[in-house]
Amino acid sequence: MNQDNCQRRTLMRDKAKGKIAGVCAGIAEYFNIEVWLVRIIAVTALIFSSSFVAVIYIAMWFILDEKKSNPADQPSHHLGVKTKVWQAGEPPQRAFREINQEFNELEQSLQRIERYITSNAYKIDRELDRL
């Protein structure tokens, strides 16, 4: 069982990703679906139901706690790849491109290190450090 399944999810407003109060963004994160889909459902429900959805939205605005965005708590390279159109995450092509770019940068860095270690400059620096 991975770490994400062990943690209990909590419904919270995500004001950083939200347009008004972050209620739709929080619902989307909770159910792991795209934010735009939740917004379309909310607007459609608002149009076809009198003001009931507006009252629910405002109530959730006041009831739900705001999600604190702390970059130290989140992994630096968490990559969620979507398998369905409505799921939250990155499209597979973009995820592959980003992983490939990161791999190429690491490969270039490793090549620079190898060139330095096999060069005469490394041998001279090593001898100077021993003095």
Task: Provide the pLDDT confidence category of residue 106 given band limits of 50, 70 and 90.
Answer: very high
> Chain-wide mean pLDDT for the chain?
79
At residue 5, the pLDDT reads: 47
At residue 107, the pLDDT reads: 94
Q: Ranked by mean pLDDT, which of 26-30, 101-105, 124-128 comes out on top?
A: 101-105
Does position 74 have pLDDT exceeding 80, yes or no? Answer: no
What's the pLDDT tens digit per position in 17-63? 888 888 888 888 888 888 888 888 888 888 888 788 888 888 888 98
**All residues at 6 or more sequence positions from 14 whose CB lies less than 8 Å from its CB, including other chains:** 22, 25, 26, 29, 66, 67
How far is Cα 76 from Cα 78, in angstroms, rounded to an integer?
6
**Which structure tokens are listed for 39?**
């917004």
Look at 48 and 89; give whichever has higher pLDDT. 48
